[in-house]
A and B are shown apart, each in its own frame.
Chain A
Amino acid sequence: MKQFLPLAGLAVLLVCVQLLTQWTGTTYYLTQLTMSAYYSVVIIGLCLLMGYAGQISLGHAGFFAIGGYMSAMLTTRNLITFQDQDWMVLLDKIGFLAARQDLYGEAILSFQPWAAAIIAVGLAGVIAFIIGIPVLKLKGHYLAMATLGFGIIVFRVFLASEIFGEADGISEVPGFTLLPGVTVTGSFGARVSNYYIAWTLVVVAMVMLINLINSRVGRALRAIHGAEEAANATGIDTAGYKLKTFVLSAVMAAVAGVFLTHYNGGIGPSEAGVMKSVRYVALVAVGGMANIWGALSMGVILNFLSLRGFFGSYDDAVFGAILIVIMLFAPEGLLRLNLVAKFKKMFSGGSRK
């Protein structure tokens, strides 16, 4: 139970932050905190894959984009011209369709967000499973290249397909009503509730990951990371564990993509770009690879600052610099630095030599 204590702390902190912004009249900070929360879901999922299973992925923005783009496409594509076709009647019967009006009064018949989300996340999971089988047989640079290549293909397909809006992406994505009265939407009035929706998702993801890491699976993963052949020899189904972790982290990225797209009201090709994937890897590295708390906190802080335009025109440069500095001086991640011990070592260790 001990491992869940920090989560309780996190929950308290979240409520405190919300109350603090309320009290100081600065609730607008919640906008970027909400967006950062969704990105952190991708980051902690990737942390499981990279830090615990030891598999790099330079293509996770691809899974995020598959989730976001599919749900955006399904919820905005107007199917009203097909409404008398048999398959549409069938879809309508099982509750997959929703009719609404857009801002300008045009009638739109499209997929219901729940249905769209399930299809989008399911698709991401299936794709992850299919490409995961051959990709995870690769190692080192080959694995990096294969995942990078996957990301590029996803990016290119979205950028070149008319159905996904080409360079403009998809706009005017409606809100996602999770439960009656609980809607994922970017409108100014729903900010506080969306802050809690996003962070609830993060907490749920954290509970799941912590459970996983401390279970048989987690031990198996660490064994794989340490010495795959040895793990294999002791009868651990390494390929199976790696694949499951890969699919899980892809699904988490896709879920984040679905939610953030509904929150933002749209998605563009930049979400699928190589730089985005590199950013996710960077944030996991900064947090300390096998440290989901580090990944979570660094992910939130740096995304928060970046989304507020804190670094101005030096946004990418700052990320590059952080990457290098962390990897050179603190490859275990910032939060792994045991500061007190390091200081002691610095003063005593220096004189001994």
Chain B
Amino acid sequence: MKKLLSTSLTIVAVLLAAVSFLPPAAAQAETIKVGAILAVTGPASFLGGPEARTLEMLVEEVNAKGGIDGNKVELIIKDSGASPEKAISFAKQLIEEEKVFAIIGPSTSGETMKIKNIAEEGKTILLSCAAAQVIVNPVAKYVFKTPQKDSDAVRKIYGAMKDKGISKIAVLAGNTGFGKAGKGQLAEIAPEYGIEIVEAEVYDKKATDLSAVVAKLMANKEIEAVVNWSIVPAQGILAKNMRQAGWEVPLYQSHGFGNIKYVKAGGAAAEGIIFPAGRLLAPELLEDGHPQKALLLEYTEAYEGKYNEPVSTFGGHAYDAFKILSAAISKVGPDAEKARTAIENLKNFPGTGGVFNFSPADHNGLDIDAFAMWTVKDGQFVPYKQ
């Protein structure tokens, strides 16, 4: 038995290698191939998971309606596991082999920065779902990103702090690309608002308890508020550890907190957390006629109905990327060069992250108004009022 197994395994391995060498079937003329490089598994799976599910849902919807202006969409999702080397390999594969029209993703800043030049050289539109501003600054012709600017989130938070008269803060960040970018912006913008960062710490993305570091910060009586910048579950752990230790200073979180799962995980400790985020969190609270209201409600309903889990802002980034691409294609047809220009000229385009206004100099298209300040009350997101 064991010999049989091992023999067949050898044969299978050889066959697999042989099969993958066959040239791919010729693409049909009317399908638009869209590639996606997402961290569906691995340490950033809480980003890539919702992003992949959102794209699958959208493509299904579009094709059920006959495609974008009659062009069917074929989605090729590649799971990078948040490894840059895989993202690089997949980007080359998608561009040269699959000859995709555009690539959505990657989920993390590190991966995006590795394939920025590849997309540029391969003249393929890249719509990144990662946050760091370096992705679009300096602007690369083919590279766009859909999440809001970190710097705007920082300004929103500092603005709210200034109103409260807070000037000495502690900064905590997760050791992800998101945390790294935010930490940098927080330090850079602080002087503008007369804010001083007294303590700064970085914790592991898999951190399971932060009570020791909370104790350390708490001993510093100067600190008037804490800003935490991360997208990982430890956001809830920090809130719990602070409240359990009886430390009552206000806790500000980044827009990475915009995920009701984290609020649920934080439970009673999440109450009173103040953070900036897009309007996806509570679309029903928007006034009628707000440009984003209809699409936010529609996305929420469709996603929650299909996957039986709450929407997150992360899935929203992929939603925006796909919708921006579809809008460009329906404007100028399936021509990559023209579509790229069309994205650059897209104005007043509502998405989950805000209202996009692209230009040749701005490949993000969102400004500070994309953010609103939120807080948590009775386990729900509500708009933050002074």
Contacts and interface: CB of A to CB of B under 8 A. Distances in A.
Chain A bound to chain B: yes
Interface of A: 24-26, 28-29, 31-32, 35, 103-104, 159-160, 165-169, 171-172, 186-188, 260, 264-271, 301-302, 304-310, 312-313, 315-316, 325-326, 328-330, 334, 337, 339, 342-343, 345-346
Nearest to B140: A103
Interface string B1-28: 0111111011001001100110100000
Given A31-B93, A168-B177, A186-B88, A305 B114 contact: no
A310 B121 contact: no
Contact of B7 (A159, A160, A337): A337
B216 to A, nearest CB: 17
A337 B88 CA distance: 35
Contacts, number: 156
Contact of B21 (A26, A172, A315, A329): A26
B6 A172 contact: no
A325 B12 CA distance: 14
A309 B90 contact: yes
Given A270-B85, A334-B13, A168 B175 contact: no
B116 interface: yes
Given A169-B114, A187-B121, A315 B85 contact: no
19 contacts: A28-B93, A28-B97, A35-B85, A103-B117, A167-B176, A171-B110, A171-B113, A186-B88, A264-B85, A265-B118, A267-B84, A267-B85, A271-B83, A301-B17, A308-B20, A309-B90, A310-B20, A313-B79, A325-B6
A305 B16 contact: yes
B90 A28 contact: no
Contacts of B118: 186, 265
B58 interface: no
A35 B84 contact: no
A301 B84 contact: no
B93 to A, nearest CB: 6
B122 A188 contact: yes
B309 interface: no
A28 to B, nearest CB: 4
A308 B93 contact: yes
B132 interface: yes
Contacts of B132: 168
A188 B79 contact: no
Given A28-B93, A167-B177, A313-B40, A265 B85 contact: no
Contacts of A316: 41-42, 81
A35 B89 contact: yes
A160 B175 contact: yes
B116 A171 contact: yes
Contact of B4 (A28, A165, A167, A346): A346
A169 B84 contact: yes
A142 B121 CA distance: 48
A104 B138 contact: yes
Contacts of B320: none
Given A103-B120, A266-B114, A334 B84 contact: no
B85 A312 contact: no
Which are the 7 A-B pairs with shortest beta-carbon distances? A268-B84, A168-B110, A171-B113, A270-B83, A329-B2, A330-B6, A307-B89
Contacts of B88: 186, 264-266
B23 to A, nearest CB: 5
* Secondary structure of the A contact surface, majority rule: helix
A312 B79 contact: yes
B92 interface: yes
Given A159-B175, A171-B113, A268 B83 contact: yes
Contacts of A265: 88, 114, 117-118
Contact of A337 (B6, B20, B21, B92): B6
Nearest to B76: A309
A188 B3 contact: no
Contacts of B42: 316
Contact of A309 (B9, B78, B110, B177): B78
A309 B86 contact: yes
A329 B5 contact: yes
A28 B114 CA distance: 19
Given A270-B84, A308-B89, A316-B81, 9 more contacts: A26-B97, A167-B109, A186-B88, A270-B83, A309-B89, A309-B90, A310-B16, A315-B79, A346-B4
B20 to A, nearest CB: 6
Contact of B5 (A28, A31, A307, A325): A325
A160 B86 contact: no
B17 A266 contact: no
Contacts of B116: 171
A159 B173 CA distance: 13
A54 B202 CA distance: 39
A169 B110 contact: yes
Most-contacted residue by chain B among A26, A167, A267, A345 (CB, 10 A): A167
B32 to A, nearest CB: 20
B12 to A, nearest CB: 11
Nearest to A29: B21
Given A26-B23, A186-B118, A309-B93, A266 B84 contact: yes
B10 A334 contact: yes
B155 interface: no
A339 B7 contact: yes
Given A167-B175, A167-B180, A268-B85, A334 B93 contact: no
Most chain-A CB neighbours within 10 Å: which of B117, B122, B179? Answer: B117
A103 B138 CA distance: 10
Contacts of A25: 23
A216 B90 CA distance: 44
Contacts of A159: 175
Contacts of B120: 103
B166 to A, nearest CB: 27
